[in-house]
Amino acid sequence: MQHIVIIGNGISGVTAARHIRKNSDHQLTIVSAENKYFFSRTALMYIYMGHLKFEHTQPYENWFWEKNNIDLKEGFVDNINTDKKVLNFTNGEQLSYDKLIIATGSKPNKFGWPGQDLDGVMGMYHKQDLEKLEKYAPNKDICKRAVIVGGGLIGIELAEMLRSRDIPVTFLVRESSFWNGVLPAQESEMINKHIKEHHIDLRLNTNLKEIKADENGKVKSIIIEETGEEIFCDVVGLTAGVTPNIDFIKQSDIETKRGVLVNRFLETNISDVYAIGDCAEQHKSIGQRRNIEAVWYTGRMMGETVAQTICGNKTEYKPGHWFNSAKFLDIEYQTYGWVFSEKSKGEHETYFQWQHPKENICITISYDKNTNRFLGINTFGIRMRHEIFDKWLTENQSVEYVLEYLADANFDPEFYKLHEAEIVAKFNLENNTSIQLKKKSWKRIFAKA
C-alpha cells in the first residue's frame, strides 16, 4: 500500500482519486486550499444567478470521502521536496507521499494592466471570486456598471451572471467579433447579436488600457486603449483566459514551461510525480489538440488515465475525438471533431453552413474539400449525440454520409421541430447532390461502434 497524494480537488484530482480507490487500496489524500469538498467550478455562475446553492454544486455528499477512505486535507502547499518526497505547507506542516499527482488547475490571466489588483477587480474562476462578486456586485444599486475584459467563455458567463441582477455590463472584446479565433464568422456574428439582445454593451476591437482607482483604492473606472474613453464602473471582471496554477512548483526540480511538463503517461521528469488537468502541459501536442487543455472533460480523462497507471496498469493518455460544449446566454453550443474558424482552418478544410432564418439555430460542418471526409460539426441551438459523431469520426465518414443519417444524431428533447430536411436540402442545392435524408433508426443509433 502506498500513500498517493493529490494536490487539487477539482475534477481531475477527484476523478483520479475515485478511480484509484476503485482499483486499489492505496492510502489516498487530496490536498486543497479553495474548499474542503469537491465542487463543480462550472456551476459557480448558477449560484450568483440564484439557480443553485453552493451545496448543489457538490457532486458527492460529504460522507462520501470518509466512506471511500479518501482523506481530505485543507492547506496551501508552499513547495515540494521531490528528494525527500515531502510537501511543505505554508503553515509549516509537512506531508510525505509515495506518489504525487499535481492537479492544481488554472488561474485567471492578468496581463500587467495598471490597476489590475485593485478592490473590485476579479476573475471568475475560484469560489473566492464568487464571494468577491457577491460583495462588490450584490445588486444594481451598489454596482452601477461592470466592465468585463476578455471575450471568451468565462467572459460571456460573467456577463450573463451580472445581467441576471440587471447590472449594466460593458464587455470589452479584443477581437473583431466574439470568439472568432475559434468560431466561424456565421456563428460568431450570431453570438454578437445575441449578446446585444441581452442588453450587454458589447465593444469589439477594444482593449483595456488601465483601471483607475477612487480614493479608497477601489475601482472607479477603466480607460479604453483605442479611444481613451473612460467608463465608470464598480466592478471589473478580468476574463482573458487562464494559465496553469503552478507558481509553487517553479523552484522545485519538476520541469515546467507554462504548465507542468508531462509525457503521454502524464509523468513529469521526476519519478512518482504526475500532473493532470489544466496544469499539465504535453511536450508534444496530441493530434490537433493544444499542449495545455483547460477543459473539464480533458481533466476528467487525464484523471481516469493516471489512476490506471498508478494502479499498476500503465496507460497512455489517449484522448479520443475532440468534443466540447458551452452555452452562450440562451444559445447552447456543441462541437464534435474539429471545426476551425476561418482564420485558422487549413487549406483543405471547407465548410457547409446552415442557419435558421429567424431563430438562433445554426450549424457548421467542416469537411475535406478534396476527399469530402467529415472533419467536425458545430451546432448552435441543436443538440447532437456524442456517441454517433464519435463513431462517424472513427469511421472516417464522408460529409454526404453524415447528412444522410443526420436524423440519427439529433439529441433535442422530444417534440422539438427538426431541421434536418432543410439542412440537407441546402447542401443538395449548393453542391448539386441528391442526398436523401434517412429516417431516424434506433437500430443504428444503438449499434455499437
Partner 1 sequence: MKLIKQTGLILFLLGLTIFTGTIFTGSYNLTKSELDNYIQEKGYKSEIIKGQLQKAVVTKEPQNIFEFSSKVRTAFETSNTYYDNLIAKYDAEKNWDKKGEQYQYKIYGKPHTLSYELAKKAGTGFTKNKSSLAWLLTFGLGIIGALLFIIPNLVLLGKPGIKNDGIYLESATNRGWIAWLVLIYLVTFYLVLYFMPDYVVNWTYILDPISNFLNGGDASQWFVYGFLYCTIMLVMGVRMYIKYRHNKYQIVRTTSVLFFQIVFAFLIPEIMTSLNMPGYDFKNAFPLDYDFFFEWNLDSLRNSGGIGIFILVWGIVLTLIIVPVMVYFFGKRWYCSWVCGCGGLAETLGDPYRQHSNKSLNAWKLERWLIHSVLVFSLVMTLVTLYCYFSGAESFIGIKSQWIKDTYSFLIGAWFAGVIGTGFYPIFGNRVWCRFGCPLAAYLGLVQRFKSRFRITTNGGQCISCGNCSTYCEQGIDVRAYAQKGENIVRSSCVGCGVCSAVCPRGVLKLENGPEEGRINPTEILLGNDVDLMSLVNKK
**Residues that bind partner 1 in the complex, under the rule CB under 8 A:** 11, 40, 42-43, 46-47, 49-53, 56-59, 61, 164, 197-198, 296-297, 300-301, 304-305, 308, 313, 315, 318-321, 323, 325-327, 329-330, 332, 334, 383-387, 390, 411-417, 442-443, 445-446
Residue 102: which of 2, 248, 293, 241 has the closest Cα? 248
Residue 315 or residue 398: which is nearer to partner 1 going by CB?
315
Could you say which DSSP state residue 56 is in? G
Name which of 204 and 326 has its Cβ closer to partner 1.
326
Q: Closest distance between partner 1 and the C-beta of residue 377, in Å?
A: 13
Q: How far is the CB of 412 from partner 1 (least distance, A)?
A: 8
Q: Which residue has the cell 436524423?
A: 407
Least separation, in Å, of the C-beta of 217 and partner 1?
A: 29
- Closest to partner 1 by CB, 57 or 268: 57
d(CA 398, CA 373): 4
Q: How far is the CB of 446 from partner 1 (least distance, A)?
A: 5
- In the bound state with partner 1, the residue whose beta carbon lies nearer, of 251 and 288, is 288
Nearer to partner 1, 51 or 257 (CB): 51
Nearest to 286 by CA among 257, 321, 259, 251: 321
User: End-to-end distance of the chain based on CA atoms, in angstroms?
Assistant: 38
- Shortest Cβ distance from residue 164 to partner 1 (Å)? 4
Amino acid at 175: E
Q: Look at the chain and count its residues.
A: 449
In whole angstroms, the minimum distance from the beta carbon of 248 to partner 1 comes to 26
Q: Is 283 exposed, middle or buried (0-12, 13-18, 19+ CB in 10 A)?
A: exposed
State the alpha helices, DSSP H only, in 49-174.
Answer: 63-67, 127-136, 153-163
Q: How far is the CB of 108 from partner 1 (least distance, A)?
A: 19
| Full DSSP string of 266-309 | -B-SSTTEEE-GGGEEESS--TT--SS---HHHHHHHHHHHHHH
Question: Which CB atom, from 54 or from 89, has the smaller least distance to partner 1?
Answer: 54
C-beta closer to partner 1: residue 185 or 311: 311
